[in-house]
Structure 1
Amino acid sequence: MSVDSGQRRPRGAARRDRPSPVRLVGGTLAVWLLLAVASVAWWPVYQDTSMVAAGVTALVVGSLVAVLGAVSRLPAAAVAVATVVGFAATGVPTAVPDEAAGLLPTGRGLVDLFAGVALAWRQLLTVDLPVGSYEALLVPYAVSVLLAAVTGVSVATRASRPELASLPALALFVAGVVVGPSRLETSVVLAVVLAGIALVWALTSRHVRRAVAVAGTTGARVPVGRAVVRPALVGTATIAVAAVVATGLGLVVTPSAARTVARTDVVKPFDPTTQVSPLSGFRAYQRSDEADRTQLTVSGLPAGGFVRVATLDTYDGVVYRVGGPDGAAASGSFERVPTSVDTRDVRGTRVRVDVRVSGYRGVWLPTVGDLEAVTFRGAAADEERSAFFLNRSTGTAALVDGVTGRTRYSLSAVLPDQPTEDELVDARPGDAAVPTPRSVPDAVRDVVRADTDDGTAPGAQLLAVLRALARDGYVSHGVGDDRPSRSGHGADRIEQLLTAQPMVGDQEQYAVAAALMAREIGFPARVVLGFTPGGDSGAPADTTVDDTTTFRGSDVTARIEVDTAQWGWVMLDPNPDVREIPDESEQTPEPVTRPETVVPPPPAEPQEQDQQTPPDADRETPPTQPLWLQVLLAVLPWALGVLGLSMVLLLPAAGIVLVKRLRRRRRRRAPDPRARVVGAWDEYRDALLDGGHDVVPTATRQEVASTAPGSDGAALAAGADAAVFGPADVDDQTAERTWAIADTAIVALGSGRDRRARFRAATSLRSLRSRRPAWSVPSRHAAEPAESASAGPPAAVGGRSERR
């Protein structure tokens, strides 16, 4: 059976026809399946039903927009505008639920929604997982599903190669892996399943397209079972076998190193290494004007409870600080906590305490035990919640903008069970990673050797050195009438503490000395600064009848934590009891059992102390931001939101204009003058199409020019016909004159139109979708009579003759 060429439709007509119901339903369901599987990669990021609601809403809205565009044959610009409108209408209730008024968006919600398209990606990488529906962090997932649904369904229902509809789902999966956790979880199995479904869809689409082409050529029905179903099943079985093998290999052959994702390399918004060590300001609490000043008021704290300010694990011979020598240690990674911290593995007593800040200041937020959740109250609750960061490995919390007198919050935490002293005798060192201390004085090693026996267990040695500190040490803060006592905890001060007779210092020095000695024995150790009733001074706790404890400056203390193989991190008190300090003359000379030590020379590398305040300096106070910076930070989110919305709306139009500019440049700079003349006509013809004029695809140039406004079109058509079919060569001057006529004709087409009409013409896709007749392309040998006949148009096209 032959098909009459005169009855054939233009090549682009098939693409402009409405898709069949079978293709609409089949393509949409295939994209839904692909996107549903790809969305599983995002579940570790959110782990909340709000993600399901946001994903389903975005999927339905995106599919409706794409199907409407396919059925109504809308251009890409109209589909893009419909996508933005659908996103604005449904995005706030699903992606920013805290800012929605029921099912309706609010002004602030819309600002957060569109700002989140650009900003929430980075915020998502700096928040501890899972994030749930915290702030606007659902926006990255919602907008990704929306764009993937619109693109995937549009390709599946409108494109000539529907198998490419799986690419948006693959991009959604990759994005979920990149922003996901660093641990491997189900990515291998999920990737294999997704790739297998995409291959099956591609295989089926290819066989369907081939069957349709055969049916259109032969005019006979092609057996669906033999031509489509059977090859698809065979290919599916092959893909399934390969998927099982690949999954097994991926699960058995595990990667040798931790997975690197975006959150492992992103620069954290809070860097603890830039903060002054809070232990350096220990003596400031003991001054006469601070010792009796109320710092914190805590309700619900058990008797003898400890309030943690900061955990310090890095010693460089000058100070104990947070975060490792370069911030790369686990203790240096602070993340926002959107919901709660998983404490199911912690054995202990669950408590809920309320904290009201009075005189305390600093970036470090006081906490209790192993933090589970924090809730801020008061006028500044929203700002403090956004500025809250937590290091899960040390339990240290921080407010980037600093704690103020307005800070009020509640804590849910677990107080870990602690072993008894008898149980600690059998303690073995744990395997926690703690930065190795630098510039440790030799006196630490000498004291450990003198107070312990080599044959005893590590736990017994640790208890022995702590008992020696409590036996030989005396407490003095060096303020008022106290015995003179140097502040600070550098290597020279610890050397002086351990070699002086009598041993005089305070919790700052004893905690550092105990931590260094624990490291010498083999226990990972760190120093903990905080408040406890009485401050290890023997004074009674200041507790009211309603179970509210008031901490004053004199209640500050420092303790140590050591990691054990049996109980994990255990907090120990290395501080001597407060008692009268004897005079040096009253000390009974004893035989020297410790080897003589000398003060070590200064370290080879100079220590960076420019960021440290003097030991007696006041605790760090966050610098006040200038007014212009505060105004800028307040206006910036709104400006970025407006900018993001403008980019979303204008980006498709800008892309269309750019493509047309490049097309015009290519035509005008063609190497052959004849091609430049034909390009001038093509540019004029495309301007007619974009301006809304009806141009029949099979019409000749003269026929197109006869229906166009103005007289320049006829001259362009004649010049193009002469260049293509005429015997004479075309020179550069003729090409330039033709382009000048084309520019004038194009400008004339837009005259008299308003700005809106000109914008529609500039962003129209009609000329980009239209195909020129094959005979309109200039031939390199068009001047030769023998070949001009074959290169020219047919003698009759649609019943019309072409004059040459």
Structure 2
Amino acid sequence: MSPKKPLPGASGPTTLGPRMARAEVRHSTPFVLFNALFMMAGSAVAAWALLPVYDSMRYVLVAGAAILGGAAVAVLCDRLRWGASRVALLTALVYIVVGLTLAVPGALTSVSEIADAALDLLRGPVTGWKDIVTLPLPLGDYGTTLVPVLALFLVGTTTSTWLAIRARRLWPLAALTAAALVIIAIAIGPAVRADALAWAPFGVYASREFLVGIAAFAVLLSWFGWRAWYTRRQAIASAFGAGGVQLAKSSHASRLAAASAALAMVVVGVVAAVLVTAPIAESTPREVVRSSLDPRLVVESKVSPLSSYREYFADDAFAATLFTVNVEDGDPERVRLATLPYFDGEEFSAADPEGSAVARFQRVPSHVEVEGDTEDVTATVSIGAQSGIWVPIVGELGSLDFQGARKATLVDGFYYLADADAGVMVVDDGLLSGDAYRVNGERPSEMPSLTEIGTPPGVPTISPELIPDSLHEWVTRQDTSADAAGLAELVRRLRVRGYLSHSIESSTDGETPAWQRALGEYSFASSASGHSFDRIDRLFQQLNEREGEVGNADEDLLVSGVGDDEQFATAVAMLASDMGFPSRVVIGARLTNTDAQGFAAPPCEAGVCRGENMSVWTEVQSDKGAWVPIDVTPQHATPVSPDVANQRDPQYASALDPQRAEPIVPPVTQRGQSDDDKPEAQELTTGWQWVGPALRIAGITLLGLLILLGPFLAILIWKLARRNRRRRGEARDVVYQGWDEYLDDAVDSGLPPLPRATRTEVAREYGTQNAVALASLTDRVTFGNVAVDDATADEYWTLVAADRSELLARKSWWGRVKMRLSLRSMWSAVQSNGAPQAKSADSKAPQRWKSGAGMRSEHSLVTASHRRRTSAQSRHTHKRKKKS
């Protein structure tokens, strides 16, 4: 009857006696220092990856102090044999000292600053990440943005170094900790990929991010290699140092060959990875945490403010106070609500459809630097009936201070796009009645006129495919120059030949709308809303048809294009872009009368901006980078000629809302189609068309299963290959390898490895049915020169298979699965004393020895020369081994 097996990990008395107790291992100082250096190198790679986010010397000092301090804490506590609690205490002390001296600028200037800095150090690691991923880059040493970095590198370096030095079984987690630092640094890094390295060989695309990845891989791989070498050397010393056996050293040539092979494998792997990933990285946008900011999602989810422009002229909003601008300093001419640089053929929007990191709203630090010759503008904006995400801003924003009860909420929800001078509020429902803020901005000291913007730079912002042919036809009829003066003349003619109309109906509830009454003597003409490609195409078709009817006649006879600021701002933006000028559309209001022709909406009276004051204008960029505003509102004094007025847009056309729009197949009478056009040939369907999709689905499913189950299949195949390899060779070696197989099965089943026990002690401790027989036969083969034939070796392995089945039978279904997939035997092999070659005193024949029955290689290799020894020599060798 086999003895009862104790539970793995259970405490209490053991049959192995006190000599089997694990002694505490105290590593040497070089071992500790080398591990600390490797972990510091891994943290330094992560700090290098995060350098573009800050781009300041203070960041380098903070990161360096955190890395050095974390490693020093781990090394000091190890040398003094202090526990984890003291490690945490010293880490907190380093965090406070470095935080007050480096991470928080000006923290030691006064007692109150010290108190505020201490509060920032307390909450910074929790709340500071939002500033890092939302503020525009580089951060420099702004505010407390260095506090999370200090906590990250200090805690990460301390943890990785402590695990590398002190963890007996879980020391590989140190590499995971170092890798996690690199991953976090990449995740919170810049959203714009670094420029390609000009010195990359063979024209391969490689950037700074490639170097970060290669450096991290090299550091961790080098650490694992050094750790494996050190563990092997320690295993050799432990196994043979006390036995008086001289170790056989490998030749320099063999060591050089092994090192060269390892280096070649690494180089080939890195080169292959670069060649494979370079095309993917070059064509794939960089996605990090700051790439998916809420402002962009909020802006994209809203209907374009230009599409809803006519809502300002409804009776309830026309006279309502939207917001009030109280100018304190400077003389601003306009207040900007939304800037829309991007046109996709349906609408103008503020969000780049390609998701460019340059066109992304970001949080505002204490101040935004404004370049150029400017003058200060200061104003207080109070919100009335205006609500939504768009924030009225005066001039180019320098700083913005919110006021009122919702100050903290508004500060967290405000995002700004510096390239467009536009801001959005993404919290709750945006700005609400009663909100107020103070704007400190800048405006150009001198604004050039449209005729002074120079020659077109040839950088259009609207794709040529999105500009209708009718616009080109109209421009050709005008016979103007293709420069700023020609653009100014085209804008003048467009406004004079257009006619203002905010609605498709002439009345609401039987009463004249407020916007019509405000225009005085006004002859109503219907106008469809929207500013899509088709809507602008119809606008220029009206102009071309009328000019084709009357020729180059009086301007009053050429009035035909009906619309308002929505359509005419889009038309002017297309005209400018077609000439090669960058252009964009802006929604806002005028604080002073800037329209020389007098067609635009009236300016805000005493800073009070109502619906009637809202307007749209186009901005064109000069050759020096300045954005010049162009008023685009058409005239309303000269009505449309009756011949053209009869060709109205549909009486009940629907307003465009791209969120709810549905595609409609146009009839063949539309432009570009005719009844003569032959329909496209329809692909004939056959009964085998399902084969392709079915095979594709099956392939994708099989690939997914291989990805999910591949690691587990690899473990099973590896174990099967190891078992088959051990069953081959000479019969005596097959017996030794069978004992190794039994030990591996036992360790994988959850039994503890016993590196210092004899085979008989191991057999009694594990308690399987055939364990004692296996141990006895292995000892007799090892020390008794017992002849072994193939039949005996096969019988031996039969007993091994029976004990494996017994170990499996002890487990539940899930336990059997875990045993078959367990890699504990592999880790036990890495942590064992190894299987080095030894050279005995009386023979030069190589032998592989084990100082105990639980080690991970063959227990003895009796070579041909050893088998020819006499029994007396064998007994002498036996006694010496037992003594060792």
TM-score by length of 1: 0.61
Contact 2:157–2:178, Cα closer than 8 Å, also in 1: yes
Contact 1:371–1:395, Cα closer than 8 Å, also in 2: yes
- Which structure 1 residue ranges, 5 or more long, are not aligned? 1-12, 219-255, 544-548, 588-597, 601-606, 615-657, 748-761
Partner AA of 1:182 in structure 2:
R
Whole-angstrom distance in 2 between the partners of 1:467 and 1:191: 56
Which of 777, 782, 799 pairs up with 1:734? 799
Which of 564, 577, 589 pairs up with 1:519? 577
Partner AA of 2:305 in structure 1:
P
User: Match of 2:670?
Assistant: none
Whole-angstrom distance in 1 between the partners of 2:455 and 2:541: 30
- CA shift, 1:288, in A, is 1.4
Contact 2:397–2:439, Cα closer than 8 Å, also in 1: yes
Which of 315, 330, 335 pairs up with 1:288? 315
- CA shift, 1:565, in A, is 0.8
Contact 1:430–1:523, Cα closer than 8 Å, also in 2: yes
- CA shift, 1:427, in A, is 1.7
Which of 177, 182, 196 pairs up with 2:193? 182
Whole-angstrom distance in 1 between the partners of 2:573 and 2:638: 24
User: Match of 1:468?
Assistant: 493
**What SS does structure 1 have at the residue aligned with 2:540?**
helix
**What SS does structure 2 have at the residue aligned with 1:730?**
helix
Contact 1:680–1:739, Cα closer than 8 Å, also in 2: yes
Whole-angstrom distance in 1 between the partners of 2:320 and 2:615: 15
1:368 and 2:378 aligned: no
- CA shift, 1:701, in A, is 2.9
Contact 2:460–2:577, Cα closer than 8 Å, also in 1: no
**What SS does structure 2 have at the residue aligned with 1:795?**
helix
Partner AA of 2:585 in structure 1:
V
- CA shift, 1:45, in A, is 0.4
User: Match of 1:542?
Assistant: 605
Whole-angstrom distance in 2 between the partners of 1:542 and 1:793: 114
Which of 486, 491, 497 pairs up with 2:536? 491
**Equivalence map 1:130-141=2 (5 Å):** 130-131=138-139, 139=148
CA offsets 1:474-521 (integer angstroms, 9 cap, x no match): 544344445234142322552366456365543223322222222333
User: Match of 1:573?
Assistant: 631
Whole-angstrom distance in 1 between the partners of 2:640 and 2:286: 61
Whole-angstrom distance in 2 between the partners of 1:105 and 1:705: 61
Q: 1:350 to 1:128 in 2, by over 3 A?
A: same
**What SS does structure 2 have at the residue aligned with 1:468?**
helix
Whole-angstrom distance in 2 between the partners of 1:294 and 1:792: 109
CA offsets 1:615-644 (integer angstroms, 9 cap, x no match): xxxxxxxxxxxxxxxxxxxxxxxxxxxxxx
Whole-angstrom distance in 1 between the partners of 2:875 and 2:76: 41
Which of 355, 360, 365 pairs up with 2:381? 355
Q: 1:713 to 1:444 in 2, by over 3 A?
A: closer
Whole-angstrom distance in 1 between the partners of 2:116 and 2:382: 32
Partner AA of 1:769 in structure 2:
Q
Whole-angstrom distance in 2 between the partners of 1:437 and 1:599: 28
Q: 1:111 to 1:21 in 2, by over 3 A?
A: same
User: Match of 1:305?
Assistant: 333
Partner AA of 1:465 in structure 2:
L
**What SS does structure 1 have at the residue aligned with 2:527?**
coil
Whole-angstrom distance in 2 between the partners of 1:428 and 1:496: 28
- CA shift, 1:389, in A, is 3.7
Aligned length: 644
- CA shift, 1:314, in A, is 3.6
Which of 463, 477, 486 pairs up with 2:502? 477
CA offsets 1:229-248 (integer angstroms, 9 cap, x no match): xxxxxxxxxxxxxxxxxxxx
- CA shift, 1:524, in A, is 2.1
Whole-angstrom distance in 2 between the partners of 1:93 and 1:599: 73
Whole-angstrom distance in 1 between the partners of 2:748 and 2:87: 26
CA offsets 1:44-88 (integer angstroms, 9 cap, x no match): 2024646744663354134412553476498xxx79x96799589
User: Match of 1:278?
Assistant: 305
**What SS does structure 2 have at the residue aligned with 1:280?**
coil
Whole-angstrom distance in 2 between the partners of 1:87 and 1:794: 58
1:404 and 2:459 aligned: no
- CA shift, 1:19, in A, is 4.7
Whole-angstrom distance in 1 between the partners of 2:150 and 2:340: 37
User: Match of 2:568?
Assistant: 510
Contact 2:603–2:613, Cα closer than 8 Å, also in 1: no
Contact 1:689–1:767, Cα closer than 8 Å, also in 2: no
Partner AA of 2:878 in structure 1:
A
- CA shift, 1:290, in A, is 0.2
User: Match of 2:417?
Assistant: 391
Whole-angstrom distance in 2 between the partners of 1:335 and 1:433: 22
- CA shift, 1:780, in A, is 10
- CA shift, 1:369, in A, is 2.9
- CA shift, 1:143, in A, is 3.0
Partner AA of 1:542 in structure 2:
E
Whole-angstrom distance in 1 between the partners of 2:358 and 2:306: 17
User: Match of 1:337?
Assistant: 363
**Equivalence map 1:209-220=2 (5 Å):** none
CA offsets 1:652-682 (integer angstroms, 9 cap, x no match): xxxxxx99x9899959994559656555456
Which of 769, 774, 798 pairs up with 2:831? 769
Whole-angstrom distance in 2 between the partners of 1:190 and 1:492: 48
CA offsets 1:342-373 (integer angstroms, 9 cap, x no match): 53423322334433333223333333333344
Task: State the structure with more CA Rg.
Answer: 2
Whole-angstrom distance in 1 between the partners of 2:877 and 2:133: 63
- Which structure 2 residue ranges, 5 or more long, are not aligned? 1-20, 105-112, 198-206, 242-280, 504-512, 517-521, 547-557, 650-654, 663-710, 728-733, 782-787, 813-823, 836-848
User: Match of 1:434?
Assistant: 461
Whole-angstrom distance in 2 between the partners of 1:439 and 1:350: 39
**What SS does structure 2 have at the residue aligned with 1:771?**
coil
Whole-angstrom distance in 1 between the partners of 2:800 and 2:877: 26
Q: 1:723 to 1:357 in 2, by over 3 A?
A: farther
Partner AA of 1:491 in structure 2:
I
Whole-angstrom distance in 2 between the partners of 1:715 and 1:574: 97
Partner AA of 2:774 in structure 1:
G
Whole-angstrom distance in 2 between the partners of 1:509 and 1:386: 35
- CA shift, 1:280, in A, is 1.3
User: Match of 1:42?
Assistant: 50
Q: 1:332 to 1:283 in 2, by over 3 A?
A: farther
- CA shift, 1:434, in A, is 1.2
When structure 1 is superposed on structure 2, of 293-302 and 438-447 the one drifting more is: 438-447
**What SS does structure 2 have at the residue aligned with 1:445?**
helix
Q: 1:135 to 1:716 in 2, by over 3 A?
A: farther
Whole-angstrom distance in 2 between the partners of 1:329 and 1:714: 68
Contact 2:303–2:657, Cα closer than 8 Å, also in 1: no
Whole-angstrom distance in 1 between the partners of 2:326 and 2:633: 26
CA offsets 1:706-761 (integer angstroms, 9 cap, x no match): 8x6xx9489845533424645545356633553577689999xxxxxxxxxxxxxx
Whole-angstrom distance in 1 between the partners of 2:567 and 2:55: 45
Whole-angstrom distance in 1 between the partners of 2:65 and 2:432: 44
- CA shift, 1:284, in A, is 0.8
Q: 1:568 to 1:183 in 2, by over 3 A?
A: farther
Q: 1:308 to 1:705 in 2, by over 3 A?
A: same
Q: 1:495 to 1:506 in 2, by over 3 A?
A: same
CA offsets 1:222-278 (integer angstroms, 9 cap, x no match): xxxxxxxxxxxxxxxxxxxxxxxxxxxxxxxxxx98997445995564244543221
Q: 1:552 to 1:385 in 2, by over 3 A?
A: same
Contact 1:534–1:554, Cα closer than 8 Å, also in 2: no
Q: 1:688 to 1:583 in 2, by over 3 A?
A: closer
User: Match of 2:777?
Assistant: 722
- CA shift, 1:561, in A, is 0.8
Whole-angstrom distance in 2 between the partners of 1:182 and 1:553: 43
- CA shift, 1:797, in A, is 5.5
Partner AA of 1:513 in structure 2:
A
When structure 1 is superposed on structure 2, of 558-567 and 516-525 the one drifting more is: 516-525
Contact 1:66–1:150, Cα closer than 8 Å, also in 2: no
**What SS does structure 2 have at the residue aligned with 1:403?**
coil
